[in-house]
Structure formats: C-alpha cells, structure tokens
Homo-oligomer: A and B are copies of this chain.
Amino acid sequence: MNVKSTTFPLVNPLSKPILYSYWRSSCSWRVRIALNLKEIPYDIKPISLIKSGGEQHCNEYREVNPMEQVPALQIDGHTLIESVAIMHYLEETRPQRPLLPQDVHKRAKVREIVEIICSGIQPLQNLIVLIHVGEEKKKEWAQHWITRGFRAVEKALSTSAGKYCVGDEISMADCCLVPQVFNARRFHVDLRPYPIILRIDRELEANPAFRAAHPSNQPDCPPELPNK
C-alpha cells in the first residue's frame, strides 16, 4: 500500500500493518517491541513530532489519531490507537509469543506495572506536556515524576521480577519499562536506587526484538545522532 498524506485514513484489511511511529516516542517504541516479539511484519510510516510544528497535528493525521500523537496502527482493516490498547489487541488476535502470563495474579501484576508507567509516569513527561511546562523547568519536572514512578516500579518488581518484570517471561510490562528507562536517561535521572529496573533493562538490551525497536534503529532516526 502506497501511503500518501491524502490516503491516511484508508485501511486495506489485506495490507501489511502500518505503524505510524516516531523514532524517539516511547509509546511507539512499546508497540514496535510487541510487533517484533510476535514476529508480525509491518511497515513504518514516520510521523515527525518536531518537523513543521509536529506532523501529528496536521488535518490528515488527526483523522488517523484524534489525540494527535503516535502511535497508530493500521491492521486487519482497522486503525487502532493508544499503545496499551494496541498491545492487548495484538495479544488477543495473535496469541503467539504471549505478552501476558496465564496466571491471573501475574497478569494483574503485569498490568499494574504497565499502568504505573503508562498512566503514572510517561504522560507527565511526554513532549507535549514538557512544552507546556516550559524550557526552564522541564528537566526538573520530568525527573520528579519519573523518580516518583520508578520508586513504585522498583517496589513492585521486588516481589514480581524473575529474569524480567514478572517472572522469567517477557511481558507487556517489559515493553513499557525499556522505553521509560531510556527517557529517564535522557532526563539524567539518577538510576542507582533502582537496581532491579537496571538489571532488567540490561537483560533486554541484547534481545533482537528490543534491539530492532530501539530509536537508533528506526528509519526516521537522524543520521547525525550520537551513539547511533
């Protein structure tokens, strides 16, 4: 499918899934990991959150995602938005390589960690909020909310973690944790008080599904980026 700006809202149910993504967006990153883990082929349609005041605000893209943010996933003839909802959809339609444990209490624990990150941390430090907070205060603001959330994540992990966030199987919680650790580093959060978070992040660094989803491996990552 040839995606032009004027054909944004058209979704062909037989097409390869298209992920509207921005290389550094942690919410896009979560979905990239989930797609990779489940080995679902997809094309990336980059949406720059920077260029021209943010391509996510253009009229055509607003039809794709009325929240004017990434990601959005066109799949099975539908356009899905919101990263956790998308991961659940993938889990329910593509059960291979599960992102949720079978045990109902472990599932609750996965969703708890997901929600601490996706409702308790990321929304408070995303680009659109930091623009509103202002250049001068944004670093301190982001550090404050990430630190508060990571204290709770570390505490949750102290009883749930095995090799990964919940036991020894990779789950949605891991898909959310790794991008959030990246953001924490961007804002120079002191991560030493969170040894379990750091250990899991290191463990997942070499995983091919996580590696391929990393911002530095995205088609829209600027070539001049250091440490690429």
Task: Name A's B-contacting residues (CB within 8 A).
Answer: 66-68, 76, 78, 80-86, 88-89, 92-93, 104-105, 107-108, 111-112, 114-116, 118-120, 122-124, 129, 132, 141, 144, 148-149, 151-152, 155-156
Name the contact of A93 in the complex, choosing from B93, B104, B149, B155 (C-beta under 8 A).
B104
Q: Is the CB of B151 within 8 A of A108?
A: no
Provide the bound-state CA to CA distance between A184 and B141, in Å: 24
Please list 25 pairs of residues, one from A and one from B, whose beta carbons are closer than 8 Å in the complex, sorted by A's number. Answer: A66-B152, A67-B120, A68-B152, A76-B105, A80-B108, A81-B112, A82-B111, A82-B112, A82-B115, A83-B115, A84-B115, A85-B108, A85-B114, A85-B115, A88-B107, A88-B111, A89-B107, A89-B111, A92-B107, A93-B104, A119-B122, A123-B123, A123-B124, A124-B129, A132-B141
**Sample of 16 further A-B pairs with CB below 8 A, known A92-B107, A120-B123:** A66-B155, A67-B116, A78-B105, A78-B108, A80-B108, A81-B112, A82-B112, A84-B115, A84-B119, A88-B108, A89-B111, A92-B104, A115-B118, A119-B122, A124-B129, A132-B141
What is the copy number of this chain in the assembly? 2
Q: Name the CB-closest residue of B to A93.
A: B104
Question: Measured between alpha carbons, how far is A86 from B120 in the docked complex, in Å?
Answer: 15
